[in-house]
Amino acid sequence: MLKLENVQSGYGSIVALRGISLEIHQGEIITLIGANGAGKSTTLMTISGVVRCRAGKILLNGEEIQKLDTDSIVKRGICQVPEGRHIFPQLTVRENLDMGAFLRKDRKQIKEDLDYVYSLFPILAERRNQDGGTLSGGEQQMLAMSRALMARPQLLLLDEPSMGLAPLIIKQIFEIIKKVNQENNTTIFLVEQNANQALQIAHRGYVIENGKIALTGSAQSLLQNVDVQKAYLGI
């Protein structure tokens, strides 16, 4: 579904991605793990067009998208939940969710999807009239994910959904990521520092080091890889 071929990008004179190649197939959960500053967020932002691709190709279902603007990329079904959530703090939970469906016109299905995200996260249904900014960190992460799901993405990009959350909430968030993938066949590209948990739910993974892919394999093989264990799993 998504293919990166030798993608390079950066910020001014800083080169962050030094030729990234990877592939994500329909229905997979793929995780990208790596140390601070390795280029994980930049990879996601380059896919979604927030950071310009300077060289290489990004193909969505065989079509080049690396020159498109972010709006066109969202319209093609790629939706990103950025690091730090970025919900609308002054809008209610319900209004935040409505924003996610902003590009859609299929009212009946929008209502079904709203019920679906409320069933995934019942706390959001309870808090539907509360301002987003007054939610806890975990609830804001749930809202950010739900808002992205309201766009019915074919590819969901998640940037460190576990960041700053308590272990129990992290467990819940990962379970829901797996559920969304299984129930809707939504393809998920998950960037995580929490490599262990990410590899527990992913089908395959990539390890990024210093703007380059250092290793790839099935989630099981990465979990058992001694170098990965030492560098990213604290074993």
Q: How many residues line the site for ligand ATP (CB under 6 A)?
A: 12
Site for ligand ATP in 170-199 (CB under 6 A): 193
**If binding is defined by CB under 6 A, does position 36 make contact with ligand ATP?**
yes
Alpha-helical runs (H) found in 29-187: 40-47, 70-75, 93-100, 107-120, 122-126, 137-149, 167-184
Alpha-carbon gap, residue 103 to 91, rounded angstroms? 18
- Which helix (DSSP H) or strand (DSSP E) does residue 122 occupy? helix 122-126
**If binding is defined by CB under 6 A, does position 168 make contact with ligand ATP?**
no
Check: CB of residue 30 under 8 Å from CB of residue 204: yes
| Minimum gap (Å) between residue 127 Cβ and ligand ATP | 28
| Minimum gap (Å) between residue 111 Cβ and ligand ATP | 36
- Closer CB to ligand ATP, residue 50 or residue 99? 50
**If binding is defined by CB under 6 A, does position 86 make contact with ligand ATP?**
no
Among 20, 22, 38, 87, binds ligand ATP (CB under 6 A): 38
CB atoms within 10 A of CB 26: 12
Check: CB of residue 19 under 8 Å from CB of residue 58: no
- Closer CB to ligand ATP, residue 46 or residue 96? 46
Give the footprint of ligand ATP on this chain (CB under 6 A).
11, 14, 16, 34, 36-42, 193
